[in-house]
Amino acid sequence: VQHALQQVKNSSGTAHISSAIECLELQQEHRLHTKLYVDIMTCLTRIGKPDRAMSWFISAQNHAVKLDVWMYTCAISACAKSSDVNGACKLLEDMHRTGISADTCTYNAAISACAKGRRWPMAIQLLRDMQGKGIPVNTITYSSVISACDKCGEWQTAVQLLQEMQEEGIPANTITYTSVISGCKKAGQWQTALQLLDYMQDEGVTVDTMVYTEVIGACKKAKQWQKAVQLLRDMQGKGIHASEITYNEVISACAVCGIFKVTLQLMEEMRSKGLGVQTVTYSSVITSCEKAGQWQRALQLLEEMQRTGIPMDTITYSTAISACEKGGQWHVALQLIKNMRGNRVPAD
């Protein structure tokens, strides 16, 4: 068993891992030590096999293995991996019923399941249960609850939880702030996102590419294109890498406002830095041309995509067609529609 378990931990090839897992599963007919069950379940969950991890938990129950807090925590972690909120909560109830005390790790795993399953009220309820029972709450706990709020559009609740952390002296890390800022981005709360970015820097919390990209996304949603460009320059000035996603967000922010010259400059800048210019980039730049009445430039970009083998999708074609229509170029627009059908690109 230990040999097969070690193979699962150390193997990189799928075939070797599958073979080792099969060897492990042959042992399910035997009653093993509790620690072995924990190790096996942890390993299977880590490599993305939560269903198999749960089968080991059921096997332990069937063999009357003594179930402890670690066994339950592993099972709840497996539920979290597969976004099974109901399964995680049922296991917590089973622990309470059988007199096994859940600890911080157990609750954190259950809250993680709530975050992945987009069940923010349940995540908050579990946080309050921890606090009511005197179970220590840490950065991971709050970050997971905030993540649940972010995914459900509850940005104000996320901000309140961040403030609560500060009041209780629990440090917020980069992951925590990223989730709060992501919630602000979805709600178009660009000013709050900027304030959080400033606060992170004041507190000495690491600000990375993802944080800046999320704040830029908030500015994009609020059509604050100048601020988006400024943030790009700020991060570059601080030596923080601007990724393809970062550039695409800035270009998109400029595109919705029709600032086509800046979008063209940024696309060229991407190329000069060796970043991939893909369909989404071209679509945004063509959008900026369409909004600025630059139908000729939109066509040039479309031709450039064809020449360089970059796929054109529905948005690309539709935007270029719209640009031609606005420019009174009906014959060109009709030709693009024919090309679109010929290339089997679905119409919107």
For the cut 60, the answer to whether the pLDDT of residue 285 exceeds it is yes
Q: Does pTM surpass 0.75?
A: yes
pLDDT of residue 343: 81
Measured distance CA(301)–CA(305) in Å, rounded: 6
pLDDT of residue 31: 59
In whole angstroms, how far apart are CA 203 and each of 213, 225, 236?
20, 27, 20
For the cut 80, the answer to whether the pLDDT of residue 6 exceeds it is no
Measured distance CA(211)–CA(199) in Å, rounded: 12
* CA angle, 295 then 259 then 275, to 5°: 95
pLDDT of residue 342: 83
pLDDT, tens only, 10-40: 554 455 555 656 666 666 565 567 888 888 8
Structure tokens at 212: 């800046």
Give the containing element (helix H, strand E) for 329.
none
Q: What's the average model confidence in pLDDT over 331-343? A: 88
**pLDDT top residue among 32 and 284:** 284
pLDDT, tens only, 96-144: 999 999 999 999 999 999 999 999 999 999 999 999 999 999 999 999 9
Confidence of residue 42 (pLDDT cuts 50, 70, 90): confident
Structure tokens at 114: 């709530």
pLDDT, tens only, 206-258: 999 999 999 999 999 999 999 999 999 999 999 999 999 999 999 999 999 99
pLDDT, tens only, 259-278: 999 999 999 999 999 999 99
Identify which of 294, 217, 83 has the alpha carbon closest to the alpha carbon of residue 232.
217
Sorted by where each starts, the structural domains of the chain and their CATH numbers stand as 1-122 (1.25.40.10), 215-347 (1.25.40.10)
Confidence of residue 151 (pLDDT cuts 50, 70, 90): very high
Give percent above pLDDT 90 in the chain: 76
* DSSP calls for 113-142: HHHHTT-HHHHHHHHHHHHHHT----HHHH
Confidence of residue 52 (pLDDT cuts 50, 70, 90): confident
